[in-house]
Amino acid sequence: MELGIEGRVALVLGASRGLGRAIAAALGREGARVALSARSREGLEEVAAAVGGETAILPADTGDGDAITALAERTTAALGPVDILVLNTGGPPPGGALEAPSDAWRDAYASLVLAPLLLARACVPGMRERGWGRIVSVSSTSIREPIPGLALSNSNRMATAGLLQTLAREVAADGITVNTIATGRFGTERLAQLYGSMEAAEQQAVTDVPAGRLGLPEEYGDLVAFVCSDRAAYLTGTVIPLDGGLTRSS
């Protein structure tokens, strides 16, 4: 299927590994020019080589508001104005609702809520001028069903989902779509850390996930590439579960 994003400029956060890497690869296969960002340069060169085509390596810490605000300008200087913005900001430390100190709450808010807001502010005006844009948030099923022991992630991801659904209505007439992926359990380093090992995560998925397995990062990348495509121009303001049937709420 021709997705119509060849030559589009995509900025992908958290691109050094896991789902971010898979998304960058999927967009690169469709001919997009991909700006790869993560907290450090480590791993990004390897991703750039795997993605191929025209790429840029732009390290930035999502907890640093100034660095995030400058990221759109750095992408424009390297590849051109941002057409596709993939908000993949990773997960904060686990813990219960009353366990995390105030500093941890502030850090989680800066990374999960404020960074997406700052990037949207920086990218949306240009998207509006060009009459085309795609914003995709890599979120979690926790925005539908809070996950025990992940209070920082649950709370802040819900806030971001509300922000982006509000934004979607404001920019829909400008040719810009804004969608959120409610991510289930995928075979990534983050999941292995939460369960103690990848083997433990895989075994638990057999019991918990109706599909009987973990998702593949490549499957995730393919969905995001479609959501960013011309074919998905009428899809906006949605929360799309990608979880093998794990989420029970509608």
> CATH number for the 9-242 domain, one of 3.40.50.720, 3.10.450.50, 3.60.21.10, 3.40.50.620?
3.40.50.720
| Amino acid 22: pLDDT | 96
Confidence (pLDDT) at 190? 83
Q: Over 76-110, what HEC string results? A: HHHCCCCCEEEECCCCCCCECCCCCCHHHHHHHHH
**Collapsed DSSP state (helix, strand, coil) of residue 115:** helix
Would you state the torsion angle of the CA atoms of residues 186, 188, 193, 196, taken in this order, to the nearest 10 degrees? 70
Would you call 67 helix, strand, or coil by DSSP? helix
Q: Using alpha carbons, select from 144, 159, 68, 58 the residue that is nearest to residue 109.
A: 159
The residue ranges of every structural domain in the chain are 9-242
Specify the 3-state DSSP secondary structure of 220.
helix
Interatomic CA distance for residues 51 and 24, integer angstroms? 7
What pLDDT was estimated at residue 30?
A: 96
Q: Residue 1 has what pLDDT?
A: 73
Rounded to a whole number, what is the distance in angstroms from the first to the last CA of the chain? 29
Distance CA 20, CA 36 (A): 9
Instruction: Indicate the residue type of 98.
Output: L
CA distances from 107 to 66, 91, 104, 114 (A): 14, 11, 5, 10
111, 63 contact by CB (below 8 A): yes
Report helix, strand or coil for 143. Answer: helix
pLDDT at 46: 92
pTM of the model: 0.95
- pLDDT of the chain, 250 residues: tens digit per residue: 789 999 999 999 999 999 999 999 999 999 999 999 999 888 899 999 999 899 999 999 999 999 999 999 999 999 999 999 999 987 898 999 999 999 999 999 999 999 999 999 999 999 999 999 999 999 999 999 999 999 999 999 999 999 999 999 999 999 999 999 999 999 988 888 889 999 999 999 999 999 999 999 999 999 999 999 999 999 999 999 999 999 987 6
Per the structure block, which two tokens stand in for 91?
Answer: 């997960």
Please report where in the chains the tokens 């025990």 appear, as a residue: 148
Q: Classify 200 in phi/psi space as left (phi over 0), alpha (psi -120 to 50) or beta.
A: alpha
